[in-house]
Structure 1
Amino acid sequence: MNGHTAVNGKVVVITGGARGIGLATATALAALGARIAIGDVDETTVKETGTAHDFEVYGHLDVTDAASFEQFLDEVERTIGPIDVLINNAGIMPTGKLVDEPDQVTRRILDINVYGVILGTKLGVARMLPRGSGHIINIASLAGETHLPGLATYNASKHAVLGFTDTLGEEYRGTGVRFSSVLPTLTNTELLSGVQSKGVMRAAEPEDIAAAVIGLIAKPRAKVRVTKLAGFISQAVGLLPQSAGDALGRALGSGQAFLGDVDAEERKKYERRARGERAD
């Protein structure tokens, strides 16, 4: 089944859909005939984006709030029908050493990146199981298979998403509901503001992730890594003794990419938004 045939007419919900990977995915799916609903905690931006792209449903969605999530999904099903695909994309990536990370930032990362994914999945599956069909796609990260200094809590959150999603694939085997993880490498969105991407691996583009999602809808499988080269290196490093894998990571530039090499001034706007602080 090709991407257009698989996607055409499907009702797709995307969290964190106002910008970045979420928006690129929504745009690509809409071009193939999907009926799109995007939710985002940034109410102003999601309304501007939804209006500009003429998506069927768009509005405020706080993935850490069960009532907000339930109400959004209710609106989608009232407006455009039963949800076929739920893409849990919302996530944040504050950087820095663990001892410098305020407790409220640690909790915010876990609330959005882990609890938000678990909550969205739970609510989505509850709607899909009675119909015997549906697809949950969780946007994880290659950081969920590796470890990057300066991203300890973020790494932990993505390891959690992978373990969670893989487990559900077995827990609900045979029900008609499918579960997939997408593992992007560093991607050119606001999350990379001020981060110097070095080494042999190019950063992915949001459109690369969107293409991977389309491929998963057309042919569901447990996970897909983006880019292929980054995914291959991640898997290869995982087979090495940890000391050797760490040495290879340093050689590829991971040791300082999210610490000393970060342009703090360039990254300041994203960090404040990710940390839930008011902008200047």
Structure 2
Amino acid sequence: MELRGKRVLITGASRGIGESLAHNFAGAGARVALVARSRDSLESLAVELGGTVHPADLSDSTQVSGLIRRVEDDGGPIDVLVNNAGIESTACFTDAPEDELRRVTDVNYLAPAELCRQAIPGMLRRGGGHIVNVSSLSGIVLFPGLVSYSASKAALSHFTAGLRTDFRGLPIGTTLVELGPIPTDLLAKIDNYEPTAKSFQRAYRWGVAVDTPRERVAEEVVKAVLKGRRHVRLPKRSAPLAMLAEAPRRIAEIILTGVPHQAKS
């Protein structure tokens, strides 16, 4: 997809990976629509990049409802939806706060899925669009203390493959981003629970885990959208694990070749 002049909505845009994504998409000539909980945290970035600001708490379904329409009413149609916002949950599953499972699932899976549901019909009417869902290698590799987080990311990864199945043959591109450790505020919170911290320490010692700068993530995501790639997997050394998890989905695609993927109207 050519990005010059296109409009890209980025959730979780106020810091970390989201901020880097905003810079890189704007650098590719796109117009950015920035979503995060706080307006104040987005204002300076929007001024710098010439983007629009759309405060929304993605854990609140009432704020997610109609969000795409509100963004499109303030700046025009969305050509690329980047579901980047995410929250961590690092604790023994039964010790986590009562509302944590729902909160993590809402932000990491249900809100991205709902935003896709809102955005795709308009993309199809206009002749095409692209969805980027930022997931995690934690969706396929489980460490203690990350039950809720890993389950939400596994759901997002499988959901993205499901979108590809439903809209096969139509001009909707999808990119699933599966990431290992990225030095951000979210990664720093793994120290909150000793079993999780020790698991990461071992993964680093064995060379299974290695940090990837957020700027590298943003560069690879923009390249993937430009070239229509299905996947971004970082660090590269972890890609074989993600490919193994993807294998049953790809096999199903082959088996279903020639089967209609949309009902006749």
CA contact (8 A) 2:26 2:49 kept: no
1:224-263 → structure 2 map (5 Å cutoff): 224-232=232-240, 235=243
| Greater displacement, 194-203 / 154-163 | 194-203
The letter for the 1-side match of 2:181 is L
Q: Distance in 2 between matches of 1:223 and 1:31?
A: 21
- Is 1:170 the counterpart of 2:165? The answer is yes
1:55-70 → structure 2 map (5 Å cutoff): 55-65=50-60, 67-69=62-64
Any gaps of 5 or more consecutive residues in structure 2? Answer: 191-196, 248-265
Q: How many angstroms does 1:138 deviate by?
A: 0.5
Q: How many angstroms does 1:127 deviate by?
A: 1.6
1:35-71 C-alpha deviation (Å, 9 max, x unpaired): 01111012321224323x2332113022244553455
CA contact (8 A) 1:182 1:212 kept: no
Q: In the alignment, which residue of structure 2 is the partner of 1:147?
A: 142
| Greater displacement, 12-21 / 70-79 | 70-79
Q: Distance in 1 between matches of 2:7 and 2:117?
A: 18
Q: In the alignment, which residue of structure 1 is the partner of 2:79?
A: 84
Q: How many angstroms does 1:106 deviate by?
A: 1.1
Q: Distance in 2 between matches of 1:215 and 1:70?
A: 30
Task: Say if 1:104 and 1:77 are closer, same or farther in 2 by CA, change over 3 A.
Answer: same
Q: How many angstroms does 1:233 deviate by?
A: 5.1
Of 204, 207, 210, the residue aligned with 2:215 is 207
- Is 1:186 the counterpart of 2:193? The answer is no
CA contact (8 A) 1:17 1:90 kept: yes
Q: How many angstroms does 1:129 deviate by?
A: 1.9
The letter for the 1-side match of 2:151 is A
Q: SS of the counterpart of 2:144?
A: coil
Any gaps of 5 or more consecutive residues in structure 1? Answer: 240-280
Q: SS of the counterpart of 1:17?
A: coil
Q: How many angstroms does 1:22 deviate by?
A: 0.7
| C-alpha RMSD over aligned residues | 2.2
Q: SS of the counterpart of 1:155?
A: helix
Task: Say if 1:194 and 1:143 are closer, same or farther in 2 by CA, change over 3 A.
Answer: closer
Give percent identity, aligned residues only.
32
TM-score, scaled to structure 2: 0.81
Task: Say if 1:202 and 1:19 are closer, same or farther in 2 by CA, change over 3 A.
Answer: same
Q: Distance in 2 between matches of 1:211 and 1:184?
A: 13
Q: Distance in 2 between matches of 1:150 and 1:206?
A: 24
Of 15, 18, 23, the residue aligned with 1:22 is 18
TM-score, scaled to structure 1: 0.76
Q: In the alignment, which residue of structure 1 is the partner of 2:229?
A: 221
Q: Distance in 1 between matches of 2:246 and 2:31?
A: 38
CA contact (8 A) 1:184 1:226 kept: yes
Q: In the alignment, which residue of structure 2 is the partner of 1:277?
A: none
CA contact (8 A) 2:135 2:177 kept: yes
The letter for the 2-side match of 1:223 is H
